[in-house]
Chain A
Amino acid sequence: MARATSTQRRWVVTIVAWSVGLLIFFPIFWTILTSFKTEAEAIASPPSLFAFEWTLENYGEVQERSNYFRHFMNSVVISLGSTLLGLIIAVPAAWAMAFSPTPRTKDVLMWMLSTKMLPPVGVLIPIYLMFRDTGLLDTRTGLVIVLTLINLPIIVWMLYTYFKEIPGEILEASRMDGASLRDEIIHVLTPMAVPGIASTLLLNVILSWNEAFWTLNLTAAKAAPLTAFIASYSSPEGLFYAKLSAASTMAIAPILIMGWFSQKQLVRGLTFGAVK
């Protein structure tokens, strides 16, 4: 039976793959497109693909009406804050587990991972009540604390896997060379681990930015990040598709770009090594 030539086959696959890809991406594409339409255009039937009057008015209106910028900054502060705090706590822990393992290290690591599997509803009430009573409700600080805790296992895990790839002998050599622990971490470990730390940072900023349980339940007007802000479009008044699209585009654009760079980290960070 004759075999299709490899170029023919390539083209068939190309067409199928691109069709599937575009189909999957379509909702995002449509959102971005709609953000440039007028509200009337946005609900027009039949919907127009490119032949409409492009406008930037939605972007302006979203910012005016609802101080979009503040929510954007909330997202930035909360994501970066929780990730950086997590890194500070996790780097020493990951160092200890990677370079000074004991028979209990594996158990501790697995236990840490298991804390990520706790359903948030299981602790929703106490956290809510504690935050209410300590004035942490609707504050950026409160959210940074919670998000740090829920992402700490992943940050430790990812750093651990990256540190394991650094040959232990190099750290021993630095010890022989007279480096104190501080010297060892600052002059030798960190420069070598920079790519790993950057990858971990990237993935965690993404996870925090998109977190949609605690950010929805623990914030109101002041500290609401973009996840919560967008949720306010669930019961709007009047025509709003174009504005929703504009708000959404602005909310997801940074992460889509960051996500492009972090595919490998995604597999590493979220499968906990069970898939190589």
Chain B
Amino acid sequence: MSTRQTRTAARLMMSPAVILLLGWMIIPLSMTIYFSFLRYNLLMPGTEEWAGLMNYRFFLTDPAFFSAMGNTLLLVGGVLTITVIGGIALGLLLDQPFFGQGIVRILVIAPFFVMPTVSALVWKNMFMNPVNGLFAHAAKLLGMQPYDFLAVSPLFSIILIVAWQWLPFSTLILLTALQSLDSEQKEASEMDGAGPVSQFIHIVLPHLSRAITVVILIQTIFLLSIFAEILVTTNGGPGYASTNITYLVYAQSLLQFDVGGGSAGGIVAVILANIVAIFLMRMIGKNLEV
């Protein structure tokens, strides 16, 4: 439905958005790439020199990198497991008719809207603190020793906190997908003799597989960049026990002021995210009709 006039107008109207995003992509990213080839430390300005792939070599052979890489995978994997399984369970639950559905939905969705720094601090202090936290109180009540979550299992604790935050997101999406399942299909299978478990495995799960894939891909992209929760609870420690790639790059860049090294790390993070992004874009592309 376009004519020359509307097409020219359209091109003009798109340009601000396109130019800005193009700039946002190209300018800082190319600077990062450039820095990654320099020896550049903010504490010693003026001594920058070309370093080739040295930064990458150091970064990728640093034991901190391996810890961070492992932690990143554990973090993402752990949160995904909890949110996908929990999301399916919650979705199935909320899909049933019961009294007060609207309110329970709000209760379940709420954590997603709490800002990450608040949720991390609330969990850290009011629940996980080994002296004054609720978990400690509960342990004492049961005659057990309180568990120092963040000191002993920092990564696990952070996984818990982040999973709590993201569970609503996956629940909402899986619930939406569940509700699009034609109830007649389920009824037909019931007539064919399928019990609830068979129904779940053969009808519900395949229908959900698409939504589950989307949830996994989108959450992975965001989970790779978990930052605030780590900053505010453990600062990546003890040692590197709860450092992920994002935090490692931050620490190198803004705490150690190693611009060169931090940039190399940043590029590594970009490459990692790109791998996931390729799969996600393919899924989006399949569904997108223009």
Mark A residues whose CB is within 8 Å of B. 9-11, 13-14, 16-18, 20-22, 24-25, 27-28, 30-31, 34, 42-43, 45-47, 89-90, 92-93, 95-97, 99-102, 105-106, 108-115, 117-130, 149, 152-153, 156, 168, 172, 181, 206, 209-210, 212-213, 216-217, 226-228, 230-231, 233-234, 240-241, 244-245, 248, 251-252, 255-256, 258-260, 263, 266-267, 270-276
List B101-118 residues whose CB lies under 8 Å from chain A.
101, 103-118
Q: CB of B176 within 8 A of chain A?
A: yes
Q: If the complex has contacts A230-B115, A256-B114, are A126 and B287 also in contact, measured as CB distance less than 8 A? A: no
**Complexed CA–CA distance, A110 and B287 (Å):** 11
Which stretch of B46-54, B73-81, B198-206, B219-227 is in the interface?
B219-227
**Across the interface, which residues of A come within 8 angstroms of B101, CB to CB?**
17
Decide if B116 touches A24 in the complex (CB within 8 Å).
no
Contact (Cβ within 8 A) B233 A234? yes
* 21 CB < 8 A contacts A-B: A11-B98, A17-B100, A43-B132, A93-B17, A96-B14, A97-B14, A118-B25, A118-B29, A123-B28, A123-B29, A124-B262, A125-B31, A125-B32, A125-B253, A210-B113, A216-B117, A233-B121, A248-B121, A252-B114, A255-B113, A256-B113
- B113 touching A122, Cβ below 8 Å: no
**Which residues from chain A contact B98 at a C-beta distance below 8 Å?**
10-11, 13-14, 17
* Chain A nearest Cβ from B244, distance in angstroms: 10
Instruction: Indicate if the CB atoms of A274 and B287 lie closer than 8 Å.
Output: yes
Scoring B residues 169 to 208 as 1 if CB is less than 8 Å from chain A, else 0, what string do you get?
1001100110010000000000000000000000000000
Q: Are the CB atoms of A124 and B250 closer together than 8 Å?
A: yes
How far is A13 from B94 in the complex, measured between Cα atoms in Å?
A: 9
A260, B106: Cβ atoms closer than 8 Å = yes
Looking across the interface, which residue of chain A has its beta carbon closest to that of B273?
A119
Q: Select which of A106, A118, A120, A245 is within 8 A of B288 by beta carbon.
A: A106
User: Please, which residues of chain A bring their CB within 8 A of the CB of B141?
Assistant: 46
Interface contact B113-A24, CB-CB below 8 Å? no
Q: Is the CB of A27 within 8 A of B96?
A: no
**A206/B172 in contact, CB under 8 A:** no
Give the nearest-CB partner of A6 in chain B.
B97
Residue picked from B110, B141, B221, B285, most chain A C-beta under 10 Å: B110
Q: Which of chain B's residues have a CB closer than 8 A to the CB of A110?
A: 281, 284-285, 288
Contacts A28-B110, A168-B1, A230-B121 given: A270-B218 contact, CB under 8 Å?
Answer: yes
Main secondary structure of the interface of B (DSSP, over half): helix
Contact of B115 with A209 in the complex, beta carbons under 8 Å: yes
Interface 9-mer from B59-67, B151-159, B264-272: B264-272
Interchain CB contact under 8 A, A272 and B177:
no
Q: Are B167 and A274 in contact (CB under 8 A)?
A: no
| Beta-carbon contact of B122 and A275 below 8 Å | no
- Assess the B228–A213 pair: CB atoms within 8 A: yes
**Which residues of A have CB within 8 Å of B110?**
24-25, 28, 256, 259
State in angstroms the CA–CA spacing of A46 and B180 once bound together: 46
Taking a contact as CB atoms closer than 8 A, the residue among A21, A126, A245, A255 that contacts B27 in the complex is A126
- Identify the closest chain A residue to B137 (Cβ): A45
Q: What mask results when residues 227 to 241 of chain B are scored 1 for a CB within 8 Å of chain A, else 0? A: 110011100000000
A93: nearest chain-B partner, CB-CB: B17
Give the interface centre of B98, B113, B167 by most chain A CB atoms within 10 Å.
Answer: B113
**Closest approach, in angstroms, between the C-beta of A158 and any C-beta of chain B?**
13
Any chain A CB within 8 A of the CB of B18? yes
Instruction: Tell me, in angstroms, the Cα distance from A228 to B216 when the chains sit together.
Output: 29
Report if B149 contacts A (CB, 8 A): no
Q: When A99-B1, A117-B221 are in contact, do A259 and B109 touch as well, CB less than 8 Å?
A: yes
Contact (Cβ within 8 A) B29 A122: yes
Given contacts A14-B99, A123-B28, A252-B118, A93 and B224 within 8 Å (CB-CB): no
Do residues B99 and A216 form an inter-chain contact, with CB atoms below 8 A?
Answer: no
Whether B104 pairs with A212 at a CB distance below 8 angstroms is no
- Shortest Cβ gap from B119 to chain A (Å): 7
Known: A231-B231, A251-B115. A121 touches B16 (CB 8 A): no
